Amino acid sequence: MTRHFLEVDDLSCDELDDVLATASLPMAEVPKVLAGRGAALVFEKPSARTRSSTELAVVGLGGHPVYIQGLEVGIDERETAEDVARTLACYHAVLCARVLDHTTLVRMAGALDESAPGVGSTALFDEDSDGHDDGDRFPVPVPVVNLLSDRGHPCQALADLLTLRQVFGNVEGRTVAFIGDANNVWRSLALAAAMTGIRVRTASPEGYEPDADDLARVARLGGEIEVTSDPMEAATGADALYTDVWTSMGQEEEQELRRKAFAGFTIDEDMVGRAAPDAVVLHCLPAHRGEEITAAVLEGPRSVVWRQAANRMNAVRGLLAWLLGPGGGGAR
């Protein structure tokens, strides 16, 4: 069975722990599951951390990353998402995509499920007796990995968990206060937290809070979510404060509206002072100093933002090693 990674809860709690354990290994100890093979990296949206971290993770696993801009494939313009996935699966051992619409990932994964005929990495084509590939037998489909969508950012959540484990060791029972928009970053973080015993407090202005479906999904995982419109209340006693930009890519027309709505939701030194004495500050970046976070906090002694950014590479490396190894269904 092909294992895709479209959101954190595509893994079980034990599998998530295995991924994080692999991500924590020194690079030299991680199996080179991509040796001699390619990884397709499709980007409908531009990126700094995601592109660099994923490319270097693939290289660290012995593979060759191929960066593909959205315009090069023209998903649902030049050809369907399904056909893009099937074509790329002819050449690559894994398909990683940063997309505008989460349903694009779902469709790609569906096209590459084992029930779909005629797809799979050419790296494992059967050979004729003369030693040449037939070109018509595809024994194993390839996994699809979500590098970011409008619904989730699960690789970021893996890096968040790695960072919190490095800081605190055992994270069970710790509290993370997320200050800002309950967006895709929040959603993946909340799911990851529920799976690892972390409590989440969410402070958002009216209209930007978690919806009922999100809360129900977290609850099914045994998660504990407190929702408030008071950021100081959320920060009080928290072990970590987390924020994201108020206006994400594609929301530029809402920028002024959002600045007004999120007034008072800036993580500053006063808010950090409300948190636990050993609390740390997280931000998925890019950061807008003076909006969701002050420069003094972002660059201050409580910030682990740059460690968090570095862990993006470790997280993806651990995930791909697991997906393409025995845990995720075996080497492909």
Residues 6 or more apart whose Cβ sits within 8 Å of residue 265: 179, 180, 203, 204, 205, 231, 243, 246, 292
Active-site residue, 156 included: yes
**By the 8 A CB rule, do 61 and 320 touch?**
yes
DSSP 3-state assignment of 280?
Answer: strand
Is the predicted pLDDT of residue 131 greater than 70, yes or no?
no
Query: In this prediction, what percent of the chain has a pLDDT beyond 70?
Result: 90
Q: Which runs of consecutive H residues, i.e. helices, occur in 112-178?
A: 154-168
pLDDT at 140: 56
- Give residue limits of the domains in the chain: 8-151+312-328, 154-310
- Active-site hit among 4, 37, 98, 151: 98
Q: Classify domain 154-310 at the CATH class level.
A: alpha beta
pLDDT at 24: 98
**Domain 154-310 in the same topology as domain 8-151+312-328:** yes
CATH 3.40.50.10800 corresponds to the domain 8-151+312-328: no
- Active-site hit among 9, 18, 239, 244: 244
DSSP 3-state assignment of 38?
Answer: strand
Comparing 254 with 8, the larger pLDDT belongs to: 8
Active-site residue, 302 included: no
Q: What is the pLDDT of residues 168-188, one digit of tens each?
A: 999 999 999 999 999 999 999
Instruction: Report, as an integer, the average pLDDT of 229-233.
Output: 98
Which residue type sits at 55? E
**By the 8 A CB rule, do 155 and 322 touch?**
no
Active-site residue, 166 included: no
In the structure encoding, which two tokens stand for residue 167, read together?
């800081």
Spacing of C-alpha 215 from chain mean position: 19
Q: What is the pLDDT of residues 132-162, one digit of tens each?
A: 444 444 545 799 999 999 999 999 999 999 9
pLDDT at 224: 86
Nearest residue to 42 (alpha-carbon basis) of 64, 17, 63, 71:
71
pLDDT at 132: 46
pLDDT at 331: 54
Instruction: Report, as an integer, the average pLDDT of 235-262.
Output: 91
332 pLDDT band (50/70/90 cuts)? low
Active-site residue, 244 included: yes
Is the predicted pLDDT of residue 126 greater than 60, yes or no?
no
Omega before 286 within 30 of 0, i.e. cis: yes
pLDDT at 128: 46
pLDDT at 117: 52
pTM: 0.93
- Active-site hit among 214, 284, 302, 317: 284
Active-site residue, 153 included: yes
- Active-site hit among 153, 199, 258, 283: 153
Residues 6 or more apart whose Cβ sits within 8 Å of residue 137: 125, 126
Comparing 65 with 119, the larger pLDDT belongs to: 65
Mean per-residue pLDDT over the chain, rounded = 92
Active-site residue, 255 included: no
